[in-house]
Structure 1
């Protein structure tokens, strides 16, 4: 019987390292790299390389990439593909250099390498072939040159273009961005979570950690994206190809919402049945992005850090929750177990309505943002368990494997039509797998101050 060698302690140590002195990181990294050089089992080597390639620290990902190119030719092309889509430029740069200087690696990468290069640029193949004019940044110059070289290979380019849609990144087209329908949220302090003496949300351990942070100024959609707005995006994607998708999005994704055939989901209701990847693609199509969790909470709570967007007390007439759907008294107090039993007894297919129209008056936040509690939970760009930015690199995994993967859980905020009053607050949060398409989850878009055109 064949046994798999144990993972070396040096690999486990670098996997567990999150933050600390630079000297400590360098010592652990040195031990990790020396260990990689000594591994004879190819399967164990690939497993240990993946630890570094998927690490949260860019410097560790960069060193692991160099080791993969040097030690594991079969993994190298895939590793370069990951690195070309990395959010950190110091990781993308060496990946581009390795493609430019290693013809064998570029050949091994084949269509995958070209897909990744397109993902770096976030533009269509036609735009890349034409030079894309002013759309290319200085940081993208090497990627453009490499992409043009690969596109010059007629056979390779044909293979890729026949296999469209190419999953491109969420690089946004600024010309599409309009502040119409958005509210400005100025820079300010945010007190996350519920502080001692405050009312806790349903005893929910998922509440944000109590902390105080500064949030830079930004713009946020006044209302959640509606079904009509989202369906226009789907129609455009069908006509033009998937030019705005996240590079990690599962291949051959159909962005059609799962609720498209549900007559209860009217055009002016918030869009539901969309995954995090769907939301990211729509936001990029608009020239926007998803809000961070801190941005969402600041927009909902204002400078006085209120518990609900409209004030301190729950107001059932200002929010669509389970009480609205069932036509019951919102004052009925349900503990978590009773609420779950109530949901289990419901037949969603028999309910006459789920969501309601957006733009419900009277419940605005201090910054004029509406519908921030109830109707739908809203996707953010923040990872649920550790509060870090979500930077998915799951392209090698089957979408079904993402269920239960903690690093694939995204924070959603605000509660939904299925939530009891205790969850319909500006503090409540939950974690959902980024491939989830639920009738309870929608989204709205954000943009940084520097990105919004001056009028």
Structure 2
């Protein structure tokens, strides 16, 4: 790797790589998984004088766009490159993966859709066409006319349309998945599926359609998801060991010297076979990274929970109070919102005497795919930002808490409801949110491989 990134005085900036060098470089990058190595690689390549090296490294780190903020930052940086073939390559990748943060940079190149539709513009060439196509794909539009409305919504709200982005444009090889699926994971096949709820769906006076993805058909490629949430026994074994202490695969933005051990490990009500709660988003990220997994996006979670047809609960469309661990099982049937709040405020070291239950305790709480415990017992962290609906990209390192604690970038989608949740929250479509550094006894997690 060093011989590619090092610039020798005798090399000209435009010296092309040989086919063998290009293949070797991409193969080398593909073996790199450590977030800090990817971050360092992108930083070195961003200012490398050889344009083909810059583009080749971007193509090599493309598989890391979903999980490595540095890879996305590198992509956006290259959209301002002096070499058009580098910009073209970066734009195509941005469109393929619907990289939302790339959109503003692309706007600087061609201007908004409105400029082309309502003002006289002269075609320039390949660049304008490639960039326009990338912008269409990022917003999920068919052409510039379709993009206009979405672009105005994006300008007003700062939000991209829901990411049904891993679709037919996704350059994806399902053969990379372990075959057969590990015993503790479930294979979710590629297919179209129903996500969200419609304007006419009755939710609750307190909640409305804004608390779910707007109803639509989406498509996701194959992926594997854990059959059950990670348990306290599994998590504590890792958190108390050398891997957690070394922070080798932790998120690069994780606070320095973070202690991954659960703060509620001493509370006997949260037993060894119960879901691992009392962990924040960084804890979940690090644990899964050591297993070669990551957190699911909210759409991956929703598909695993609802099946293809969009069931309201994993087992069907009718609520069954005995099929899951929820507020009504942990405390009493809620009579009103105020009653729910009053009861929850009584929580202390002994009340209630039982909180979560062991994973797999409710045989009916299984989705059509065979994934268990997706609603109730504990909320589950995802890798989706609640406001932008893009992948999470924490950037709090070195910033005071007062600066980021209420920022939209730190709000994570949580799914499924918990042992403290009302009926309306334990559906397969409800979108909860929480600050990604908070450690609650109500939030756990599970992993995916894709």
**TM-score (normalizing by structure 1):** 0.58
Q: Which has the higher helix share?
A: 1
- Quote how far apart the aligned CAs of 1:396 are: 2.2
Moved more, 426-435 or 343-352: 343-352
Helix, strand or coil for the counterpart of 1:318? coil
- Quote how far apart the aligned CAs of 1:370 are: 0.5
- Structure 2 counterpart of 1:209: 214
1:272–1:429 CA distance, 2 compared to 1 (3 A): same
Deviations, residues 171-191 of structure 1 (Å, cap 9, x unaligned): xxx99x972200111112232
- Quote how far apart the aligned CAs of 1:347 are: 3.7
1:386–1:211 CA distance, 2 compared to 1 (3 A): farther
Deviations, residues 151-198 of structure 1 (Å, cap 9, x unaligned): xxxxxxxxxxxxxxxxxxxxxxx99x9722001111122322212433
1:333–1:240 CA distance, 2 compared to 1 (3 A): closer
- Structure 1 counterpart of 2:111: none
**Where does structure 2 lack aligned partners over 5 or more consecutive residues?**
1-41, 48-67, 79-176
- Structure 2 counterpart of 1:446: 448
- Structure 2 counterpart of 1:231: 236
1:276–1:400 CA distance, 2 compared to 1 (3 A): farther
Deviations, residues 412-448 of structure 1 (Å, cap 9, x unaligned): 0000000011211111121111101001000000011
Aligned equivalent of 1:419, options 418, 421, 446: 421
Give the aligned length: 286
- Quote how far apart the aligned CAs of 1:400 are: 5.7
Mapped pair 1:189 → 2:206: no
| In structure 2, C-alpha distance between the alignment counterparts of 1:209 and 1:377, rounded to whole Å | 21
| In structure 1, C-alpha distance between the alignment counterparts of 2:193 and 2:339, rounded to whole Å | 33
**Where does structure 1 lack aligned partners over 5 or more consecutive residues?**
1-60, 67-83, 95-173, 449-455
Moved more, 295-304 or 239-248: 239-248
| In structure 2, C-alpha distance between the alignment counterparts of 1:85 and 1:195, rounded to whole Å | 33
| In structure 2, C-alpha distance between the alignment counterparts of 1:256 and 1:203, rounded to whole Å | 35
Mapped pair 1:344 → 2:345: yes
1:298–1:85 CA distance, 2 compared to 1 (3 A): closer
Deviations, residues 239-282 of structure 1 (Å, cap 9, x unaligned): 76111100000111000011111111110000011010000000
Helix, strand or coil for the counterpart of 1:350? coil
1:310–1:196 CA distance, 2 compared to 1 (3 A): same
- Structure 2 counterpart of 1:397: 399
Mapped pair 1:359 → 2:360: yes
The answer on whether the counterparts of 1:259 and 1:273 sit within 8 Å (CA) in structure 2 is yes
Q: How does 1:112-261 map to 2 (within 5 A)?
A: 179-200=182-203, 202-204=206-208, 205-237=210-242, 241-261=246-266
| In structure 2, C-alpha distance between the alignment counterparts of 1:221 and 1:338, rounded to whole Å | 35
1:282–1:239 CA distance, 2 compared to 1 (3 A): closer
Q: How does 1:76-87 map to 2 (within 5 A)?
A: 86-87=70-71
| In structure 1, C-alpha distance between the alignment counterparts of 2:411 and 2:350, rounded to whole Å | 27
- Quote how far apart the aligned CAs of 1:350 are: 2.6
Aligned equivalent of 1:315, options 301, 316, 320: 320
RMSD of aligned alpha carbons: 2.8
- Quote how far apart the aligned CAs of 1:93 are: 8.7
**TM-score (normalizing by structure 2):** 0.59
Mapped pair 1:88 → 2:55: no
Deviations, residues 17-45 of structure 1 (Å, cap 9, x unaligned): xxxxxxxxxxxxxxxxxxxxxxxxxxxxx
